[in-house]
Amino acid sequence: MKYPKLRELVEAIKAVVKGPYTSKFPKNPHVPHPNFRGQVVYDEDKCLGCLACVEACPSNALAFEDIVEGENPPKRVMIHYTDTCIFCGVCVDTCIRETGDTGIVQTNEWELSYFDRADAFETIEKELQLCEFCGAVIGTKDHLVWIAEKLGELSYSNPTLYLSRLKELGLADENISTVYKDDGRSDRVKILCAECRRRTATYPEE
């Protein structure tokens, strides 16, 4: 006959004294352990819409859609599909914002039943910044301002960044123009996508 190991014996005695480890869910609500990793949720105020988490998600539970046509202002919709999320927390670790101040956070929420799987998603919206020349999507306004603030005075080497910051502060003229015929130089002082920045910097083209 094999005798139980000491650890197993201790566990058995504890179980007799404290009762079973399992909860009586669904009769009683289940309270997860404080370290339990449950559903992640976007924080609309803190998320910058930078898409780093979307790139990193191993189960394609995060997605986005840029809505430009017929939307004023244009917006980026960040989508979290709760049915494919595996609660791994990679998105939280990947977030470009500081730990403890991330744009997506892990909760201990685990009860995620839906009658229709098509309802198993949550969204937030971020305002987009379009190129002031060609209308292409540059990124979200919050992301550009965040980068400008991170760079500080270095952001003044990039008109797209410093103008985003100044417009956020209400300190930039929305309609910068010149009375001189300047071969497009005034176009440089605009919020531009990379292609238009290149074209205005090398203007006039052959």
Smaller CB distance to ligand SF4: residue 86 or 201? 86
3-state SS, residue 34? coil
Instruction: Compute the Cα dihedral for 111, 114, 117, 123 and give only its sign.
Output: negative
How far apart, in whole angstroms, are the C-alpha atoms of residue 164 and residue 68? 19
> Facing residues of 105 across strands?
41
Count of other CB atoms within 10 angstroms of residue 117: 11
The pair phi, psi for residue 2, each rounded to 5°, is -90, 135
Choose among 128, 103, 109, 97: nearest CA to 43. Answer: 103
Q: Residue with structure tokens 């500080």?
A: 152
Q: Pick one of 91, 148, 163, 191: the residue that binds ligand SF4 (CB under 6 A).
A: 91
Closer to ligand SF4 by CB, 104 or 196: give it: 104
Whole-number minimum distance, CB 180 to ligand SF4, in Å? 41
Q: Pick the binder of ligand SF4 from 75, 103, 161, 162 (CB under 6 A).
A: 103
Shortest distance, CB of residue 22 to ligand SF4, whole angstroms?
25
Report the residue number, 88 or 172, with the smaller CB distance to ligand SF4: 88
Give the per-residue contact string, 31-60, with ligand SF4 (x = CB under 6 A; - = no): ---------x------xxxxxxx---x-x-
Task: Give me the residues that bind ligand SF4 (CB under 6 A), please.
Answer: 40, 47-53, 57, 59, 61-62, 80, 85-91, 94-97, 102-104
